[in-house]
Structure 1
Amino acid sequence: MQMDEILGTKGSVDSLEREWYKTRPGPLLEGFPEYVANEGKAVEIRLYEIGIVPGLLQTPAYARCLADSNVRRGTITPGRADRRVRFLAERQAALVRERPPMMLMVLDESCVRRRVGGPAIMAEQLDRLLEVAASPNTMVQIAPYEMGEHRALDLPLNLLTMPDMTVLAYAESQIRGHMERNTDSVLALLKNYHQVQAEALSQAATVAMIREVRKAFS
């Protein structure tokens, strides 16, 4: 938006365009814009994902492939697909700041083995994961299939630690997202996250697995 350029807020967590997206009906689940507003301010982000690479780690080509797939199924329009991809790019850009948040990410093994797009898209995406794993403010772990029933979480989960050290939780169903602030509920989810993290592969073993999967797309 032109006003963001005038105010110097373009691309920031305080941009008017981001605030406009929060109030405009679109391709985002109910509750998700509220989560994103807090994500951009968090000092620590914990993610657990199943099936696809988390949005914050997706390459533009990977994100576009997922959005276009929704268009082909008729669940969103091409215009909304474009907005979804742009919105994701804004989320990623908002985390590039002088003091970036610590990011702890546990990915189910399906995230790196499920093929999205062609070999070139997957190769680029796996390279991106390796790049992220090498960053000093991130930790990437894979929860291998072998964890079986020991996996404490069966659905994706996002946990945000805010500047005042409060922790917020966010989870989604197929039709809506929900922000949880109740201390007891969030602490229970945090405990489950820690259990998954403890059972997951180390970052070194995770990098080795990603490199091995990457060979199939060379």
Structure 2
Amino acid sequence: MPTLEFSERVDAALGTGGLLSRLVELVLRSQLPAWFRETAELEARAVEICTFQMGMVHGLVQTEAYARSVLGVLDESKLDDRTAARMGRQRIFERSKPPIFWMVLSEAALYQEIGGPDVMREQLARLLSLAAEPRANVQILPFAAGAHAGSQGSFNVYRFSSDPTIVYTEGYGSGHPTANPDTVQDCSLRYDHLQAAALSIRDSAELIRRVTEDRYGEQVA
């Protein structure tokens, strides 16, 4: 399957007006699990995405190596295509007005070594780079927070310019989007509490730097 970069270059060479790139995006989306495609559409339409993640970095800000390591667990079939599909989702941030993205990430995810030290260094550097993007924010929920409002698991909140807010939770091989007002209200409140319990954006960045140096820094002989 051609990459997005290759398709963009062919579009430029042939003057297709971006036709091939658009087609590749459709093909990439077809590589997503059938149960996740509806959620990918929600991501693409949302004006604000708020996510709480307990065990790993959200797919929208994963590096390619980190994503490949996550997707390859127990299943390496079509791994190149599935990784490309996940990375393709991140193109929503290339829009002229990208969605606001807010992630509260458990401190545990900084220590869960996915793909090895090199992969983790790159991934944590990616999180730090978001500090330069005013529409993307990362807060770390520290171990010291103890019991917290997200103890029941990870979840996403998608907000739209005119459509109702959607809450999304995920299980093994299944996704569960809902616009139920009670669920949306409950999860929105939980997210407010998680943001309040998390470190500030600045302190979160400092913790990420410290973990990068202490746990994944170069080994001195």
TM-score, length-normalised on structure 1? Answer: 0.84
Question: Contact 2:167/2:179 (CA < 8 Å) preserved in 1?
Answer: yes
1:178 and 1:102, CA in 2 relative to 1: closer, same or farther beyond 3 A? same
Could you tell me which runs of 5 or more consecutive residues in structure 2 were left unpaired when the two chains were aligned.
3-7
Please name the residue that 1:217 is paired with. Answer: 216
Picking from 16, 35, 55, the partner of 2:59 is 55
- Give the 3 Å change call, closer, same or farther, for CA 94–150 of structure 1 in structure 2: closer
Alpha-carbon shift at residue 201 of structure 1 (Å): 0.7
Q: Which ranges of structure 1 fall in alignment gaps of 5 or more residues?
A: none
- Whole-Å separation in 1 of the counterparts to 2:123 and 2:25: 28
Distance change (3 Å), C-alpha of 1:152 and 1:15: closer
Contact 1:12–1:94 (CA<8 Å) still a contact in 2?
no
Correspondence for 1:141 = 139
Q: Who is 2:5 aligned against?
A: none
Alpha-carbon offset, residue 95 of structure 1: 2.5
Task: State the AA in 1 paired with 2:162.
Answer: D
- Alpha-carbon distance in 2 for matches of 1:13, 1:154: 39
CA deviation digits over 1:164-187, x for unaligned, max 9?
163111101123111101122111
**What is the match of residue 192 of structure 1?**
190
2:39 paired with 1:35: yes
- Asked if the contact 2:46–2:161 (Cα under 8 Å) also holds between the matched residues in 1, the reply is yes
Q: Residues 158 and 171 of structure 1 are in contact (CA less than 8 Å); yes or no, is this contact kept in structure 2?
A: yes
CA drift of 1:152 comes to: 3.8
Identity of aligned residues (%): 33
TM-score, reference length from structure 2: 0.83
1:120 shift after superposition: 1.3
Q: CA 1:201/1:45 → structure 2, altered by over 3 Å: closer, same or farther?
A: same
- The answer to whether the aligner puts 1:8 opposite 2:6 as a matched pair is no
- What amino acid does structure 2 have at the position aligned with 1:113? Y
Give runs of ≥4 in structure 1 deviating > 4 Å: 4-7, 9-15
Change (3 A) 1:114 1:11: farther
Structure 2 partner of 1:78: 77
Whose relative contact order is higher, 1 or 2, with alpha carbons under 8 Å and at least 6 apart? 1
Is the Cα contact below 8 Å between 1:105 and 1:141 reproduced in 2?
Answer: yes
1:120-179 Cα shifts (integer Å, max 9, x gaps):
111111100000133111111011111112334431111111121631111011231111
Q: Which amino acid aligns with 2:69?
A: C
Over aligned residue pairs, what C-alpha RMSD do you find? 2.5
* Aligned residues between the structures: 206
Structure 1 residue 51: Cα displacement: 1.1
